[in-house]
Amino acid sequence: MVDGLPVGDLPTGARLRIGATAIVELGAPVAASEPGTSQRAGERVGVLEVGKSDPVAADVRKAGPVAPGDEVSLEAVTLPLTDVLDLHSFRPEDMPRVVTEYLDGARRAGLGEVRIVHGRGRGVQRAIVRRLLTGAPGVAAFTDAPPTRGGWGATVVRLRRTEDAPSA
């Protein structure tokens, strides 16, 4: 259990510290036959809570001295809210939820402007971010970041104050 919740009830993307140094990020379950996975047929991978039979899918984000079968305690890692969200560490399928939750949190924290770093690449992530921002209730405006702040690899978002945002 983490903060009173079973590991299986934590959201995809939650990061957990295991032991002193290892960090895992909970992921969506992966089919054994899915291309690009190292999982063998019938093998179960993830975080297995004591007393449970099915592991919660997880990716190791920072390796540490934790061996299979070690009993460890879990501690949720809280990331501070800043005026920059770097999407490089998130999976593409998680981006809409991450960006939406980040913008809600930024507005509640009273931030007037944030920068979302999506990378340059082929522009796929940028397009996803821009689609989310278009018509989002708390967004007043957005534009490419200036060259010194990421250029077209980042989007600067001006937020409406919480009381000024239209209802969704």
Average pLDDT over residues 155-167: 77
- For residues 140-167, give the mean pLDDT: 86
**pLDDT tens digits, residue range 107-141?**
999 999 999 999 988 888 999 999 999 988 899 99
> Could you tell me the CA-to-CA distances from 56 to 9, 28, 39 in Å, in that order?
9, 8, 14
Model pLDDT, residue 138: 92
In whole angstroms, give the CA distance from residue 56 to residue 75: 15
Distance between CA 25 and CA 116 in Å, rounded?
A: 21
Q: What is residue 116's predicted lDDT score, i.e. its pLDDT? A: 96
Q: What does the buried/exposed string (b/e) look like for 44-82 if buried means 16 or more CB atoms within 10 Å of the residue's CB? A: ebbbbbeeeeeebbbeeeeeeebeeeeeeebeeeeeeee
Name which of 44-48, 127-131, 148-152 the model is least confident about: 44-48
CATH number for domain 84-164, candidates 3.40.50.300, 3.30.1370.110, 3.40.50.1220, 3.90.1170.50 = 3.30.1370.110
Backbone angles phi, psi at 96, to 5 degrees: -55, -45
Average confidence score pLDDT of the chain: 74
Span 65-101, pLDDT tens digits: 656 666 666 666 666 789 999 998 788 888 898 899 8
pLDDT of res. 43: 44
Name the residue ranges covered by the structural domains of the chain: 1-78, 84-164
pLDDT value, residue 32: 46
* Confidence at residue 60, expressed as pLDDT on a 0 to 100 scale: 60
Percent of the chain with pLDDT over 70: 49
